[in-house]
């Protein structure tokens, strides 16, 4: 394994060609016939720049690509496993080996399938997301429609996406800001010593708005409040996870006083966590790899909005498979951070693009809107 970069999509991905059309005509009669077949293959994502966060640094992200086949139609999914989330190729493979989709007659029974997946193991959220995404892709292809349409969302209502500038040496930060020229919002990682330097360098170069992700890096609420004021003077839109997720009272204290919205990320994973965020955070960052996929992500977005909170749509480093799936929900989000596919050099899918800084969902593609690169 050491030093061997996996640059091409595994052969397995194209082994059975999908036969679907945009209007679904070719496949309509096949719905519910036969049994779903789940398969998967590990795929190591190569990062464009080493990823430096408050607590660690790395150059690859382990990933598992998933497909579900039914009567010649194939749905694709993906599990991305940044190490800090506790999942690995081994744990995802073990989980997927236990999933028997042949017991379900069709991919539309998502409630039932999710109950079944949760009954197999309580966690394994990325593994569950990979099955959920592939199910949505398959079901959307069987219906001949993209998910934003099935959900009744307007694709032109997607937000701008931010582009991440990590913590790095000044010359690297400058190069990344130049690379980020097409993006209207820059996302800055903070939470290490001297972390105001990155913001200062960006502000020397551009007045584009920034947003800040602290990744739980500030553990003193007075310092956090001081930083929120400092950032508010520098055209910052919001601050993500400023304090450790366990510091709930301190975060609520900060939220009451902060001139900038406070967004929850590490604090929450799934639907049950949304209510806990109410009164503590102004908004929640939903990611498919945390939420167990598209189905629960949509439920989270709707609950957050019903509670008066804003929605941010985020991602891990992922291929355009996961990013396209997430983007189907983008019309529900106030902010998007869907740059995970732009941060890797071996994206084996084509799908959602960023056009003039804005999330552009592919209009004519059924399912999640991703296709294997030919």
The Cα–Cα gap between 279 and 136 comes to: 33
Retrieve residue 167's tokens: 């913590």
The DSSP-derived string for 152-188 is: T--GGGPPBBEEEE-S--HHHHHHHHHHTTT-SEEEE
- Return the beta strands (E) in the chain as ranges: 37-52, 57-70, 73-80, 162-165, 185-189, 210-213, 236-240, 262-264, 283-286, 310-313, 335-336, 349-350, 353-355, 358-360, 371-372
Tell me whether residue 315 or residue 354 sits nearer to Mg ion (CB atom): 315
Do residues 202 and 165 lie in contact, with contact meaning Cβ atoms separated by under 8 Å?
A: yes
Tell me whether residue 36 or residue 326 sits nearer to Mg ion (CB atom): 326
Please report, for residues 128, 162, 189, the alpha-carbon distance to residue 181 in angstroms, rounded to integers and kept in the order given.
Answer: 35, 11, 18
Tell me whether residue 69 or residue 240 sits nearer to Mg ion (CB atom): 240
Only one of the segments 57-65, 168-176, 207-215, 305-313 lies at the binding site for Mg ion (rule: CB under 5 A); that segment is 207-215
Site residues for Mg ion, window 216-275 (CB under 5 A)? 240, 265
Q: Is 94 left (phi over 0), alpha (psi -120 to 50) or beta?
A: alpha
CB of 237 to Mg ion, least distance (A): 14
CB of 241 to Mg ion, least distance (A): 6
CB of 162 to Mg ion, least distance (A): 11
Per rule CB under 5 A, is residue 213 in the interface with Mg ion?
Answer: yes
Produce one character per residue of 45-57: b if its CB has 16 or more CB atoms within 10 Å, e if not. bbeeeebbbbeee
Tell me whether residue 144 or residue 159 sits nearer to Mg ion (CB atom): 159
State the pairing for strand pair 73-80/162-165. unpaired
Rg (CA), the chain: 20
Tell me whether residue 31 or residue 216 sits nearer to Mg ion (CB atom): 216
Site residues for Mg ion, window 21-50 (CB under 5 A)? none
51 beta partners: 58
Only one of the segments 26-34, 197-205, 212-220, 365-373 lies at the binding site for Mg ion (rule: CB under 5 A); that segment is 212-220
CB of 263 to Mg ion, least distance (A): 8
Residue nearest to Mg ion (CB): 265
74 beta partners: 69
Only one of the segments 143-151, 166-174, 206-214, 305-313 lies at the binding site for Mg ion (rule: CB under 5 A); that segment is 206-214
# residues contacting Mg ion (CB under 5 A): 3
Tell me whether residue 240 or residue 347 sits nearer to Mg ion (CB atom): 240
The Cα–Cα gap between 101 and 80 comes to: 21
CB of 336 to Mg ion, least distance (A): 13
CB of 281 to Mg ion, least distance (A): 12
Tell me whether residue 82 or residue 155 sits nearer to Mg ion (CB atom): 82
Tell me whether residue 13 or residue 212 sits nearer to Mg ion (CB atom): 212
CB of 53 to Mg ion, least distance (A): 9
Q: Is 284 left (phi over 0), alpha (psi -120 to 50) or beta?
A: beta
CB of 213 to Mg ion, least distance (A): 4
Q: What is the 3-state secondary structure (H, E, C) of 272-286?
A: HHHHHHECCECEEEE
Tell me whether residue 138 or residue 264 sits nearer to Mg ion (CB atom): 264
CB of 163 to Mg ion, least distance (A): 14
The Cα–Cα gap between 307 and 150 comes to: 24
Per rule CB under 5 A, is residue 350 in the interface with Mg ion?
Answer: no
Residues that bind Mg ion (CB under 5 A): 213, 240, 265
């Amino acid at each position: 394994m050491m030093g061997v970069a996996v640059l091409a999509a595994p052969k397995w991905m194209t082994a059975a060609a999908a036969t679907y059309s945009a209007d679904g005509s070719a496949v309509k009669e096949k719905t519910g016939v036969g049994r779903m077949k789940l398969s998967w293959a590990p795929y190591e994502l190569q990062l464009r720049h080493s990823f430096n966060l408050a607590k660690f640094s790395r150059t690859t992200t382990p990933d598992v690509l998933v497909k579900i086949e039914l009567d010649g139609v194939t749905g694709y999914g993906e599990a991305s496993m940044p190490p800090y989330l506790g999942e690995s190729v081994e744990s995802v493979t073990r989980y997927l080996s236990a999933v028997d989709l042949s017991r379900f007659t069709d991919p539309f029974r998502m409630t039932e399938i999710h109950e079944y997946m949760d009954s197999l193991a309580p966690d394994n959220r990325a593994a569950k997301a990979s099955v959920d995404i592939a199910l949505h892709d398959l079901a959307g292809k069987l219906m001949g429609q993209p998910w934003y349409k099935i959900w009744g969302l307007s694709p032109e209502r997607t937000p701008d996406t931010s582009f991440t500038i990590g913590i790095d040496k000044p010359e690297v930060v400058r190069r990344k800001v130049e690379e980020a020229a097409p993006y209207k919002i820059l996302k800055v990682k903070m939470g290490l010593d001297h972390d105001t330097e990155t913001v200062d360098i960006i502000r020397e170069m551009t007045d584009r708005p920034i947003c800040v992700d602290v990744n739980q890096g500030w553990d003193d609420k007075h310092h956090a409040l001081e930083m929120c004021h400092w950032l508010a003077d520098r055209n910052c839109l919001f601050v993500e996870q400023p304090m450790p997720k366990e510091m709930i009272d301190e975060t609520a204290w900060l939220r009451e006083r902060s001139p900038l919205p406070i967004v929850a990320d590490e604090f929450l994973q799934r639907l049950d966590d949304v209510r806990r965020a109410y009164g503590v955070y102004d908004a929640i960052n939903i990611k498919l790899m945390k939420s167990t996929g598209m189905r629960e992500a949509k439920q989270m977005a709707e609950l957050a909005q019903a509670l008066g909170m804003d929605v941010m749509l985020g991602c891990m480093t992922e291929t355009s498979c996961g990013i396209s799936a997430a983007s189907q929900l983008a019309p529900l989000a106030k902010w998007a951070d869907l740059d995970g596919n732009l941060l890797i050099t071996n994206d084996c899918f084509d799908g959602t693009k960023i056009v003039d800084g804005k999330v552009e969902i592919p209009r004519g593609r059924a399912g999640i809107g991703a296709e294997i690169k030919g």
